Every structure is written in structure tokens, then in C-alpha cells.
Amino acid sequence: MAAEASPALVLGGAEEQPLRDLASYRAVGGYAQLERARAMTPQQVIEELIASNLRGRGGAFFPTGRKASFIPTPDKIAKPVYITVNADESEPGTFKDREIMLRVPHRLVEGCLIAAHAIQSRSVFIYIRGEYSTEYDVLQAAVDEAQSAGLLGDVSIVVHRGAGAYICGEETALLESLEGKRGQPRSKPPFPAIEGVYASPTLINNVETITTIPVVLQVGPAEFAQIGVPPDSTGTRVFCLSGNVVRPGAYERPHGITVRELIYDIGGGIADGRKLKAVMVGGSSFPVMTPDEIDTKLDATSLGQRGLFIGSGVVTAIDDRACIVQFALRVAQFYMHESCGKCTPCRVGTRWLVQLLRAVENGSASEHDLELLLDVCDRIIGKCLCVLGDSAAMPVASCVTKFRAEFHEHLAHGGCPFGADSSLDRLFAPVDQHHLAPVAHEAGV
Amino acid sequence: MSLTDEIQKVAQRYPDSKSAILPALRLAQERHGWLSREAIEEVGEALDLTPAYCMSVASFYDMFNLEPAGRHTIEVCTNVCCGLVNAQAVLESFERELGIAPGETTADGEITLRAVECLGACSTPTAVAVDHRYRQSVTPDQVASIVEELRGR
């Protein structure tokens, strides 16, 4: 049942073509929920969100209504309160927020305005990644149009463009960046709900989460809470299907669809008649899934039982042409490039992972290095200021433990057993465009 | 409008003008092509920040050019989703067509080639940003015409 095309909600009305202008969004009932929300008290709106059990779509899956309830009401604090929408979508494999902004920009704006009413904020910042040029144009046009139509009321929405830094998707790094600083994470507490941007209470939500708010009001919180896999994984997700599949794309489906259904029924199976070897689930920041796990449902509980994560709804199929060591190496190179450098386990650890994986790949590693790899992962996970370090270590550790035989083949073969035949062979990483001094142990110091 | 006026206008959108540093650096780079010392100083003056502070911020973000860059940029995604579907071949086609390595600019100063991390266009690999506008599903055989198109601009 889950595999069947169900009515789109977040992307509702935009299945065939995008709803970019106000008139076409209004034609599918757009901004009706804003009107309803404004007729309710802020507290009622938050209660509806809590009742729906909508949870964050950016990766952390935190209950949205509860997060909103942490923001002090105006009678409790003499500061303005802010909303910051995280549109810094940069998790490898993730493109849902981009699809949402291109296809239903006004639904995002409507969600911002409902959220602003709920926490009594008059100031919304949408932090959009710097690379998204067309997306910025489309979103800014929607904001301008909503403003001209008088929909914003006393709320201002500023679309703020980033400048190329994955770490700014981390909520406190985003706040630093928005304040005009280097995007380095803060230590928590204080949490953003108490001290966010400009040391004021700040609600931070992902684009898809905010865009789901009008949907919650539209279908009703009780009904919404029945979609997907209640009680924890309610509603739909815009799943990001990519990699070696016949029909990659953004597919909105309820939580609970299996990885197999997504890859084979919706995505048309593995391309070029190849065999599935592994699946990147949630994003590149999480442990990989093996083919014997693909009947797992895509909901937080089912994935959690296997030590996996729903993340930002990513499902990337990796076929049997890919060398898993090269995969782990390329993932580690990404995090090395994106580490902000503020804390040592991440700054040094990501780089160490790259060196060890490269040694495995080129045949200069020993059995001891595999243990060292896992040891380095262990010394990163849970020991960094933010989750970027974990995001490098979790996938790498999962590759070593779930594909140990292939790592051993590299050792026995004195290098990559695939030769030049791997689909990821010699894949260039941006980090190699930079000139770096060797670290101490590399230089033999 | 002068760069200073433009920056100060943007700064009014924020409770604290320092927040305007990323848009300001972007505007300066659009005018100068890269963030030269003069460009950094202009940004600092407009926002009442020191050049050193502006540089510390600019150097954190990938999209700012701290050295002269080409008139055009070609950025090829080589993260895993595009990588699984031939991104390396696309990148190498650009290298051959332009005669430069990733991170370099052609000798005539026209085109800078870069490999970049995930562009968020994973369902249409290989994603290539040409002058910061996405081309999707780029294959090696399209590379020559993309380069030709830029050379004609």
C-alpha cells in the first residue's frame, strides 16, 4: 500500500507543474491555512502541531510543536523572538528542499507565517545555501509577491544567502553565519530556543518541516498523526532517491514505505541490470545499509532498531560496480573538507580517516590499520562539539564492519581488487584542490 | 549605485549590520570578480568592520574567490551520488577540453574549473553549475558545447 502513489501533501498541487505564483497557489487552497491559523490563538496553533507529532525533516527528527513551545512568550521576555528556516540543504544525496522551494515556494512562505503567528515572532530569516541561485530567485519572488498581496502583515521575511559551507546547516553554525561570522558551531546549552540569533530566542526549522505546517492544519492534526507510522513517524516525507536506479527523483510518500519499495517499485530497480550492493540511507552522514536490510521501513523506529537513521530522507542505491573502500574514502574526504576546524577530534580525525582509507585503497595498509580505522571512529563519535565528526565516522565505521571482507581483499590484493573498474575509481574530491601541510604523524614528526 | 551604498542598503534588512557581511562580500565579488584587498577594504568600510575581520569571514566560505578567478566558472559535482553515475568522466572531459586541472583557471583568464561537493541535484547526475546556474544530467559528450557556449559569451 505504501508503495502506491498517495496524494502528495507537501508537494500537493505541484505534481505536474510547479506552483510558483500566488494565483496558482491560491487555486489549490493556498494561504487558507494562514487565515485559519491567524484566527486561532498562538497556543492553539502550537497545540495542533504537538497533536500532529510533526517532527523535524532536517535530520534530527525533533518534535516541531514541542520545539515551538520552548520559545518564551512575549510576556516572559523583553526581547524579540526570531524564526530561522534552514534552507542550507547540503547533505550529500539531499535535494528535497530544493524541489520544495522550486515547486511550492508559497507553501514555505505560508508555513513561515503560520510559525511566526505560533511563536509571536515578527521576523523570519530563511538561510538558503549560496549555490542555490535559481531557488533563491524563485523563493524571493514568492516572498515579494506575498508581501505585495499584504499576506505578511507585520512579519518581515529576509532570504539570506550562504556562501558555500556545509557546516552552516548545523543550527548553531547557521546562527553564527547569519550574525556575520565564520560558520562555526556553538557549544550547547544555551539552546537556540533560549539564545539563538542576536542572543534572542530563535525557532530553527528545516524547509520541509516548515512547509509541512500548512499541511498539518489542512488535513487536521489528528488525521495527520494517522499518516505514516504512528505514533512517532507521522506524515509524509519527500524522499530523495538517487544513485544507480532507473528512475531517480523526489518522491513524496508516507513514512513506512520500505527501501525496497522505493528502489524497485518506484525507482524502477537498479539500472543497467546490475546488483544492489549497499544503500546510503538518510544521507552520507549515517551508517550504510546492506541489501539484506532493504525490507526495513523508512520510519525512525524501524531504522533505529537497525542502528540506522532517516536523516533527510535520502535513499541512494549503490550497485556492485562500486568499491566500498572508495565510497568510504570519498565520504570521509567530504567531511574533511567541511570540518570547520573548531574542535580537534573532528579536524584531525576526519583527516586521519582519509589517510587510513587511502592506505587501504592503495595497498599500503595492514590488518592493524583496519582496527585503527575503527578506533579513530570511536574516538570521534560523541566527542565533538557538533555532529559533523560523527557524520564522518559513522558511515566509515559501518563500511568497515559491514563490508569487512572487501577491506580484507584490499589488504590481501595489495590494493583495490576492482582495478579501474569501480564506478568510483579515482573520483576527485574538492579537498584535493587545496594545498595542505602534512599532519605530524604523516610527516614522521 | 556605489558598492558602499548597495551594501548599506542590504544591511538595513538586519537588526545588526554585521549580518550583511555575506551579501556584502557577494556584491563585492560580483563587481571585482574576486575579493582583492581593495574589495575587502570596501566591504569593511561599508559595514564598519576591519579588513582583517572581513578576510577571516571570507576565507571560511568556499564561494569567495581569494585569488583572481576566471570570467566564467564551471563547477562539477563529484560527491558520491553524481560519482556513482559518471561524474569523474564529466570532470575529466572538462579538464581535457580546457587543458587545466580542477582548481585552475585557463591562461586567458576566461574559465575557472572546480570540483565541488554535493550541489543538491542528485536525481539528475552529473550536476554542473555553469556561472552558478545548474545544468543537470550533464554527460561527457555535452562538455565541448558548454565550453564553446561560455567562450562565446
Does residue B66 fall inside a structural domain?
no
Given B62, B116, B124, which is nearest A165 (Cβ)?
B62
Retrieve residue A340's grid coordinates.
Answer: 570547520
| Shortest Cα–Cα distance, A79 to chain B (Å) | 12
> What's the rounded mean pLDDT across residues A279-290?
98
Instruction: State pLDDT tens for residues A320-379.
Output: 999 999 999 999 999 999 999 999 999 999 999 999 999 999 999 999 999 999 999 999
pLDDT tops 60 at residue A445 = no
Instruction: State pLDDT tens for residues A302-322.
Output: 999 999 999 999 999 999 999
**For residue A412, which phi and psi values (nearest 5 degrees)?**
-65, -35
Best CA proximity match to B152, nearest among B110, B112, B114, B113: B110
Does residue A80 fall inside a structural domain?
yes
Closest chain B residue to the Cα of A247, Cα to Cα: B123
A178-207 residues touching B, CB cutoff 8 A? 178-184, 198
Evaluate whether A38 touches A117 at the Cβ level (below 8 Å): yes
Question: Is residue B33 domain-shared with residue B105, that is, in the same domain?
Answer: no
pLDDT-derived band at A441, boundaries 50, 70, 90: low
Given B16, B88, B102, which is nearest A433 (Cβ)?
B102
Q: Name the strand (E) or helix (H) holding A401.
A: helix A388-402
Number of domains in chain B: 2
Question: Is residue B148 domain-shared with residue B78, that is, in the same domain?
Answer: yes
Evaluate whether B83 touches B47 at the Cβ level (below 8 Å): no
pLDDT-derived band at B153, boundaries 50, 70, 90: confident
**Domain of A385: which CATH number?**
1.20.1440.230
What is the per-residue DSSP string for A413-442? HTS-TTTT-STTTT---GGGGS--PPPHHH
In three-state form (DSSP H/G/I as H, E/B as E, the rest C), the secondary structure along A51-83 is: HHCCECCCCCCCEHHHHHHCCCCCCCCCCCCEE
Does residue A280 fall inside a structural domain?
yes
Question: Is residue A272 domain-shared with residue A340, that is, in the same domain?
Answer: no
Does residue A14 fall inside a structural domain?
no
Instruction: State pLDDT tens for residues A205-228.
Output: 999 999 999 999 999 999 999 999
Provide the 10 A C-beta neighbour count for residue B57. Answer: 23
Residues in A touching B22 (Cβ below 8 Å): 130, 160-163, 177, 180
Does residue A306 fall inside a structural domain?
yes
Residue A279 carries which side chain, given as an amino acid letter? V
Percent of chain A with pLDDT over 70: 96
Percent of chain A with pLDDT over 90: 95
Question: Is residue B27 domain-shared with residue B96, that is, in the same domain?
Answer: no
Pairwise CA distance, residues B7 & B3, whole Å: 6
Q: Taken in order A96, A102, A104, A110, is the CA torsion positive or negative? A: positive
Number of domains in chain A: 3
Does residue B87 fall inside a structural domain?
yes
pLDDT tops 80 at residue A382 = yes
Which of A268, A287, A319 lies at the terminal end of a domain, its last residue?
A: A319
Residue A23 carries which side chain, given as an amino acid letter? A
Please state the pTM of the whole predicted model.
0.96
Pairwise CA distance, residues A334 & A428, whole Å: 11
What residue numbers bound the domain in which B134 lies? 72-152
Provide the 10 A C-beta neighbour count for residue A272. Answer: 8
Question: Is residue A305 domain-shared with residue A176, that is, in the same domain?
Answer: no
| Shortest Cα–Cα distance, B16 to chain A (Å) | 8
Question: Is residue A287 domain-shared with residue A409, that is, in the same domain?
Answer: no
Instruction: State pLDDT tens for residues A85-112.
Output: 999 999 999 999 999 999 999 999 999 9
Tally C-beta pairs within 8 A across A and B: 170
* pLDDT score, position A128: 98
Pairwise CA distance, residues A132 & A159, whole Å: 12
Pairwise CA distance, residues A222 & A225, whole Å: 5
* pLDDT score, position A6: 64
Q: Is A347 on the interface with B (CB under 8 A)?
A: no
How many CA atoms does the CB half-sphere of A260 hold within 13 Å? 8
Question: Is residue B18 domain-shared with residue B46, that is, in the same domain?
Answer: yes
Which of A301, A319, A337 lies at the terminal end of a domain, its last residue?
A: A319
Instruction: State pLDDT tens for residues B111-134.
Output: 999 999 999 999 999 999 999 999
Does residue B26 fall inside a structural domain?
yes
Pairwise CA distance, residues B81 & A244, whole Å: 8
Pairwise CA distance, residues A175 & A246, whole Å: 39
Question: Is residue B79 domain-shared with residue B33, that is, in the same domain?
Answer: no
Pairwise CA distance, residues A239 & A253, whole Å: 7
Evaluate whether A57 touches A209 at the Cβ level (below 8 Å): yes
| Shortest Cα–Cα distance, A277 to chain B (Å) | 12
Question: Is residue A119 domain-shared with residue A195, that is, in the same domain?
Answer: yes
Strand order in the sheet with A249-254: A249-254, A236-243, A314-319, A276-281
> What's the rounded mean pLDDT across residues A49-76?
97
**Domain of B9: which CATH number?**
1.10.10.1590
Residues in B touching A97 (Cβ below 8 Å): 120
* pLDDT score, position A434: 72
pLDDT-derived band at A435, boundaries 50, 70, 90: low
**Domain of B127: which CATH number?**
3.40.30.10
Does residue A3 fall inside a structural domain?
no
Does residue B110 fall inside a structural domain?
yes
Given B57, B116, B124, which is nearest A430 (Cβ)?
B116
Mean residue pLDDT across chain A = 96
Q: Name the strand (E) or helix (H) holding A242.
A: strand A236-243
* pLDDT score, position A7: 75
Best CA proximity match to A85, nearest among A148, A19, A129, A30: A129
Given B26, B60, B129, which is nearest A183 (Cβ)?
B60
Instruction: State pLDDT tens for residues A111-167.
Output: 999 999 999 999 999 999 999 999 999 999 999 999 999 999 999 999 999 999 999
Question: Is residue A260 domain-shared with residue A138, that is, in the same domain?
Answer: no
Provide the 10 A C-beta neighbour count for residue B124. Answer: 17
Question: Is residue B53 domain-shared with residue B86, that is, in the same domain?
Answer: no
Question: Is residue A212 domain-shared with residue A238, that is, in the same domain?
Answer: no
Closest chain A residue to the Cα of B104, Cα to Cα: A433
pLDDT-derived band at A39, boundaries 50, 70, 90: very high
Question: Is residue A332 domain-shared with residue A392, that is, in the same domain?
Answer: yes
Question: Is residue B137 domain-shared with residue B76, that is, in the same domain?
Answer: yes
Does residue B133 fall inside a structural domain?
yes
Residues in B touching A166 (Cβ below 8 Å): 117
Retrieve residue A369's grid coordinates.
Answer: 590499520
Pairwise CA distance, residues A392 & B12, whole Å: 39
* pLDDT score, position A436: 52
Instruction: State pLDDT tens for residues B49-91.
Output: 999 999 999 999 999 999 999 999 999 999 999 999 999 999 9
| Shortest Cα–Cα distance, A432 to chain B (Å) | 9
Instruction: State pLDDT tens for residues A416-431.
Output: 999 999 999 999 999 9
**Domain of A43: which CATH number?**
3.40.50.11540
Q: Name the strand (E) or helix (H) holding A153.
A: none
What residue numbers bound the domain in which A412 lies? 327-443
> What's the rounded mean pLDDT across residues B104-117?
97
Does residue A256 fall inside a structural domain?
yes
Given A130, A425, A434, which is nearest B63 (Cβ)?
A130
Q: Is the peptide bond before B73 cis (omega within 30 degrees of 0)?
A: no
Closest chain A residue to the Cα of B129, Cα to Cα: A131
Does residue B116 fall inside a structural domain?
yes
| Shortest Cα–Cα distance, B78 to chain A (Å) | 7
Question: Is residue A43 domain-shared with residue A156, that is, in the same domain?
Answer: yes
Question: Is residue B143 domain-shared with residue B77, that is, in the same domain?
Answer: yes
A249-288 residues touching B, CB cutoff 8 A? 249-250, 280, 284
